[in-house]
């Protein structure tokens, strides 16, 4: 590998006469060479520049130009510059006069002294998207003497939305295109190119060969090179500028003034570039995240990031931003090179912020929410007004505690745990706490009721184990459905069932995604038998991969629709997800992202997706496929999909279905398989069918109806039945992190 750059330069000729010019042309291929001689016009301009106070007539100008030559033949004045890459021979003024005229209009935004000073500076640019724009702007302004350009890439057609170039240059190295353009603008500038880009072997020469850089402009994509370049810049005490063409983000790191500065303002720690070597993109994201400042991206950029590798190949860059970035970076460079600025930091030159539009109301209209949970007093009042028939209190305190322990181990959608448990004499009441569960997805509280059913099954298992027969009734007070169930206990001979008790506590939602393992026949038979003995509930087991894939498409589309829906989105990000351990420990409910089995890249996508505005863009462009991937992958890696149906719709039938689901979950756990609900479709469908699609835009309604008939097409045996729950069964090891439960003291109330 080349360790140093290559000087790109045209050839300079100092001909003595026109015949020498002619000779040169003859020597070269005379039909191809293009000769351009505008020396006379350049001379006249020089004269004008030197006499700004005078209005010179054309004759006088010509005369003064002649005098300026003082007898020298025009052909032998100045320089003939030959550009071998396009076979042009161009006659220009001598270097000092050329510079004088070319920079004349910089005055006095740049004084001649400053121009002189900056013309000695050495600038390095790594990465030629924004980099090209900076390079060309600086070249036009003539704010360097030597430029080192590094990029290993060649020009693609898809670069031409933001890079200056032409279709004639496709496939050529970007550094070469840029160098040629600069030298065609000003043949006296010195340009060195690093066609392999920057790597460990050439980075020192890039910084130091031919004199230390005065400034580094870092615009490359490679994370390791970004870090390495900063380490080197700090070691050589070279300032670094980076413009990121989104929201006009400008980073300035003055290692020349403060060699002790942390890299990138401390956003990435003092990361060793060696550690980045061989890291997967997934792992690199951890470092990239703080570097880009995810939340600070523009909303359209966030939306685009979500679509990368779905509907678009890479993140977008616009010519307007790149051009602006070129200007901003060039201006900042000049200030740094002329010691007119000393600051380090991160800055935004964001037009949306600087020229704000009136705020457009987003479509997210969170529904009226229950703003606080019921107080103990309110719960007790609720229970007392129900005037339920008392039952004999036969449970001792230890058994009560054990039964409650089992009850609250029950699963709930989004781990909302939407309950209070009240011992009122011999009655145990299960009270629905809407504060926790109310959400767009939990249409008519159906998911909550299913969770209550699962809780009843847990109570039943535990009480039977302890020697009690459980009696229960759903919705004992028809005028207040917040009392979901009332339980009472009767003595019976104990039926210790260690296995079921073990399953009850071992049960978990396992979101791991591994390889598909066929379900054993014995498990299928167990599930069939369960289905038989729990009529009218029914379990439909699908193990055919093709059918599973068809259902996966529907189930994952529902997940996507929920996330794109303003209220669904609001719920997911404001109520359901817990991104930090602190949040998890404080609330002890909701979905801990650590239990979602997501890669770093997926968590990143989720964080990006938390921006409602970004999601509105995703919706507007008809995107969102990214949100389907995980579920599709999970289902493809499963041995089977289970669908629980009931003969008809009622709140109570969801409760009963919950008992059945929990029995299945325990059986699957005992058989050594893992279980994950995939339920959005069922509850969104219920909203469409039983709630007249309330809250759905028309296109959602249409889509839900379509998906309903597609689903029934794959599973005709569910036709006419209520779909209440869907889950996948796989063969994964248990997750290390379990979903927490709120402390039972917070949900248990005893009415004395
Ligand atoms: C009605 C209901 C719907 C659920 N839907 C989903 C789902 O769509 N996706 C998922 O991963 N987990 C789902 N879950 C699982 C819950 O998130 C999980 O039970 C809760 O976080 C507690 O964790 P655990 O089951 O490991 O105890 C659902 C659970 C219930 C009861």
Q: How confident is the model at residue 282 (pLDDT cuts 50, 70, 90)?
A: low
Check residue 380 and give its pLDDT: 96
Does the fold of domain 510-571+609-730 match that of domain 376-503?
A: yes
Per-residue pLDDT at 287 exceeds 90: no
Any residues with Cβ below 6 Å from ligand 1, and which? 411-415, 447, 450-451, 454, 508-509, 511, 591, 676-680, 738-739
User: What are the structural domain ranges in the chain?
Assistant: 1-102, 104-287+310-356, 376-503, 510-571+609-730
Taking only the tens place, the pLDDT of each residue in 614-666 is 999 999 999 999 999 999 999 999 999 999 999 999 999 999 999 999 999 99
Per-residue pLDDT at 376 exceeds 70: yes
Mean pLDDT score of the chain: 94
Taking only the tens place, the pLDDT of each residue in 528-540 is 999 999 999 999 9
Contact (Cβ atoms closer than 8 angstroms) between residue 657 and residue 725: yes
Fold assignment, 376-503: NADH Oxidase (3.40.109)
Taking only the tens place, the pLDDT of each residue in 415-455 is 999 999 999 999 999 999 999 999 999 999 999 999 999 99
Q: How confident is the model at residue 269 (pLDDT cuts 50, 70, 90)?
A: confident
Query: Crossing angle, helix 651-670 and helix 498-506, to 10 degrees?
Result: 100
Taking only the tens place, the pLDDT of each residue in 207-265 is 999 999 999 999 998 888 999 999 999 999 999 999 999 999 999 999 999 999 999 99
Question: Three-state SS string across 217-246, please?
Answer: EECCCCHHHHHHHHHHHHHHCCCEEEEECC
Q: How confident is the model at residue 500 (pLDDT cuts 50, 70, 90)?
A: very high
**Nearest residue (CA) to ligand 1, atom 2:** 413
Specify the 3-state DSSP secondary structure of 504: helix
Determine the distance separating the centroid of ligand 1 and the alpha carbon of 185, expressed in angstroms: 65
Taking only the tens place, the pLDDT of each residue in 186-220 is 999 999 999 999 999 999 999 999 999 999 999 99
- For 104-287+310-356, the fitting CATH number among 3.90.226.10, 3.40.50.150, 3.40.50.720, 2.60.40.1890 is 3.40.50.720
Determine the distance separating the centroid of ligand 1 and the alpha carbon of 439, expressed in angstroms: 15
Per-residue pLDDT at 366 exceeds 70: no
**Which ligand 1 atom is at minimum distance from the Cα of 411?**
19
Taking only the tens place, the pLDDT of each residue in 448-495 is 999 999 999 999 999 999 999 999 999 999 999 999 999 999 999 878
Check residue 272 and give its pLDDT: 78
Contact (Cβ atoms closer than 8 angstroms) between residue 182 and residue 92: no
Per-residue pLDDT at 134 exceeds 70: yes
Check residue 367 and give its pLDDT: 62
Check residue 370 and give its pLDDT: 83
What mean pLDDT is predicted for residues 500-505? 97
Q: How confident is the model at residue 544 (pLDDT cuts 50, 70, 90)?
A: very high
pTM over 0.85? The answer is yes
**Which ligand 1 atom is at minimum distance from the Cα of 450?**
1
**Which ligand 1 atom is at minimum distance from the Cα of 414?**
17
**Which ligand 1 atom is at minimum distance from the Cα of 410?**
27
Comparing 739 with 315, which gets the higher pLDDT? Answer: 739
Choose among 561, 560, 573, 554: nearest CA to 439. 573
Residue 713: what are its φ and ψ, rounded to 5°?
Answer: -65, -40
**Nearest residue (CA) to ligand 1, atom 23:** 739
Taking only the tens place, the pLDDT of each residue in 17-49 is 989 999 998 888 777 899 999 999 999 999 999
Check residue 368 and give its pLDDT: 64
Query: How far is it, in rounded angstroms, from Cα 477 to Cα 471?
Result: 16
Check residue 279 and give its pLDDT: 74
What mean pLDDT is predicted for residues 360-372? 65
**Which ligand 1 atom is at minimum distance from the Cα of 454?**
31
Determine the distance separating the centroid of ligand 1 and the alpha carbon of 509, expressed in angstroms: 6
Determine the distance separating the centroid of ligand 1 and the alpha carbon of 593, expressed in angstroms: 13
**Which ligand 1 atom is at minimum distance from the Cα of 448?**
1
Check residue 288 and give its pLDDT: 73
**Nearest residue (CA) to ligand 1, atom 3:** 413
Could you tell which of 413, 589, 681, 725 is best to mutate to test the pocket of ligand 1, judged by most ligand atoms within 8 Å of the CB? 413
Query: How far is it, in rounded angstroms, from Cα 425 to Cα 438?
Result: 29
What mean pLDDT is predicted for residues 582-592? 95
- For 510-571+609-730, the fitting CATH number among 3.30.70.2740, 3.40.50.920, 3.40.109.10, 3.40.50.720 is 3.40.109.10
Within 10 Å of residue 435's Cβ, how many Cβ atoms? 14
Q: How confident is the model at residue 305 (pLDDT cuts 50, 70, 90)?
A: confident
Half-sphere exposure of 483 (CA within 13 A, CB side): 27
Could you tell which of 408, 414, 442 is best to mutate to test the pocket of ligand 1, judged by most ligand atoms within 8 Å of the CB? 414
Per-residue pLDDT at 2 exceeds 60: no
**Nearest residue (CA) to ligand 1, atom 21:** 415
Could you tell which of 407, 411, 452, 457 is best to mutate to test the pocket of ligand 1, judged by most ligand atoms within 8 Å of the CB? 411
Taking only the tens place, the pLDDT of each residue in 597-611 is 888 778 888 888 999
Determine the distance separating the centroid of ligand 1 and the alpha carbon of 727, expressed in angstroms: 10
Q: How confident is the model at residue 3 (pLDDT cuts 50, 70, 90)?
A: low
Which residues are CB-neighbours of 701 under 8 A, at least 6 positions away?
A: 688, 693
Contact (Cβ atoms closer than 8 angstroms) between residue 641 and residue 607: no
Could you tell which of 453, 509, 511, 594 is best to mutate to test the pocket of ligand 1, judged by most ligand atoms within 8 Å of the CB? 509
DSSP string for residues in 34-86: EEEE-HHHHHHHHHHHH-TT----HHHHHHHHHHHHTT--GGGSSEEEEETTT
Which residues are CB-neighbours of 600 under 8 A, at least 6 positions away?
A: 282, 283, 285, 286
């Amino acid at each position: 590998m080349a360790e140093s750059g290559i000087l790109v330069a045209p050839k300079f000729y100092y001909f003595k006469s026109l015949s020498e010019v002619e000779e040169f042309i003859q020597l070269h291929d005379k039909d191809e060479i293009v000769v351009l001689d505008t020396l006379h016009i350049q001379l006249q301009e020089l004269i004008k520049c030197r006499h700004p106070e005078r209005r010179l007539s054309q004759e006088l100008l010509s005369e003064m130009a002649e005098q300026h030559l003082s007898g020298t033949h025009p052909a032998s004045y100045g320089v003939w510059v030959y550009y071998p890459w396009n076979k042009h021979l161009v006659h220009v003024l001598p270097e000092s006069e050329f510079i004088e005229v070319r920079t004349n209009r910089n005055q006095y935004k740049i004084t001649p002294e400053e121009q002189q000073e900056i013309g000695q500076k050495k600038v390095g640019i790594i990465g030629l998207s924004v980099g090209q724009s900076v390079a060309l702007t600086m070249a036009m302004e003539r704010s360097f003497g030597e430029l080192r350009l590094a990029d290993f890439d060649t020009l693609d057609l898809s670069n031409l939305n933001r890079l200056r170039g032409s279709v004639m240059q496709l496939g050529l190295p970007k550094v070469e295109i840029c160098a040629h353009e600069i030298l065609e603008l000003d043949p006296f500038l010195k340009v060195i190119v690093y066609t392999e880009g920057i790597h460990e072997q050439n980075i020192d020469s890039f910084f130091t060969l031919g004199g230390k850089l005065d400034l580094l402009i870092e615009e490359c994509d490679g994370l390791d090179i970004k870090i390495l370049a900063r380490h080197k810049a700090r070691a050589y005490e070279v300032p670094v500028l980076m413009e990121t063409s989104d929201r006009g983000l400008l980073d300035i790191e003055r290692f020349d003034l403060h060699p002790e500065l942390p890299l990138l303002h401390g956003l990435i720690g003092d990361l060793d570039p060696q550690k980045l070597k061989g890291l997967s993109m997934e792992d690199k994201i951890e470092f990239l995240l703080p570097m880009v400042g995810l939340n600070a991206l523009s909303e359209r950029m966030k939306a685009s990031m979500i679509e990368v590798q779905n509907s678009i190949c890479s993140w977008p860059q616009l010519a307007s931003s790149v051009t602006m970035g070129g200007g901003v970076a060039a201006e900042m460079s000049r200030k740094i090179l002329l010691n007119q600025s000393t600051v380090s930091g991160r800055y935004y030159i964001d037009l949306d912020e600087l020229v704000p539009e009136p705020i457009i109301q987003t479509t997210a209209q969170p529904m009226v929410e229950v703003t606080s949970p019921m107080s103990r007093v309110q719960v007790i009042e609720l229970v007392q007004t129900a005037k339920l028939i008392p039952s004999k209190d036969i449970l001792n305190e230890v058994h009560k505690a054990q039964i409650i322990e089992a009850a609250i181990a029950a699963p709930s959608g989004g781990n909302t745990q939407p309950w209070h448990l009240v011992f009122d004499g011999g009655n145990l009441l299960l009270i629905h706490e809407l504060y926790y569960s109310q959400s767009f997805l939990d249409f008519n509280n159906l998911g909550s009721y299913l969770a209550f059913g699962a809780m009843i099954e847990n109570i039943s298992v535990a009480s039977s184990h302890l020697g009690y027969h459980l009696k229960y009734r759903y919705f004992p007070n028809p005028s207040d459905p917040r009392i979901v169930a009332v339980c009472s206990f009767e003595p019976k001979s104990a039926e210790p069932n260690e296995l079921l008790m073990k399953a009850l506590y071992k049960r978990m939602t396992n979101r791991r995604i591994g390889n598909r393992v066929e379900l054993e026949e014995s498990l299928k038979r167990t599930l069939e038998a369960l289905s038989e003995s729990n009529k009218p509930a029914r379990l439909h087991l699908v193990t055919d991969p093709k059918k599973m894939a068809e259902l996966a498409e529907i189930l994952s589309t529902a997940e996507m629709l929920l996330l794109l829906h303003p209220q669904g989105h609001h719920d997911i990000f404001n109520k359901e997800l817990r991104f930090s351990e602190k949040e998890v420990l404080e609330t002890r409910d909701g979905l801990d992202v650590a239990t979602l089995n997501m890669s770093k890249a997926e968590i990143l996508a989720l964080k990006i997706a938390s921006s409602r505005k970004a999601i509105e863009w995703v919706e507007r462009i008809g995107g969102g496929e990214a949100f389907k991937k995980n579920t599709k992958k999970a289902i493809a890696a499963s041995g089977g999909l289970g669908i629980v149906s009931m003969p008809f719709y009622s709140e109570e039938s969801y409760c009963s279905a919950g008992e059945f689901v929990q029995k299945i979950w325990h059986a699957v756990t005992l058989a050594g398989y893992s279980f994950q609900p995939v339920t959005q479709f069922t509850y969104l469908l219920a909203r469409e069918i039983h709630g007249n699609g309330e809250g759905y835009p028309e296109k959602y309604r249409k889509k839900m109806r379509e998906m309903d008939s597609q689903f029934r097409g794959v599973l005709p045996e569910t036709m006419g039945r209520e779909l209440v729950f869907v889950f996948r069964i796989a063969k994964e090891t248990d997750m290390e992190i379990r979903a927490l439960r709120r402390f039972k003291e917070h949900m248990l109330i005893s009415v004395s």
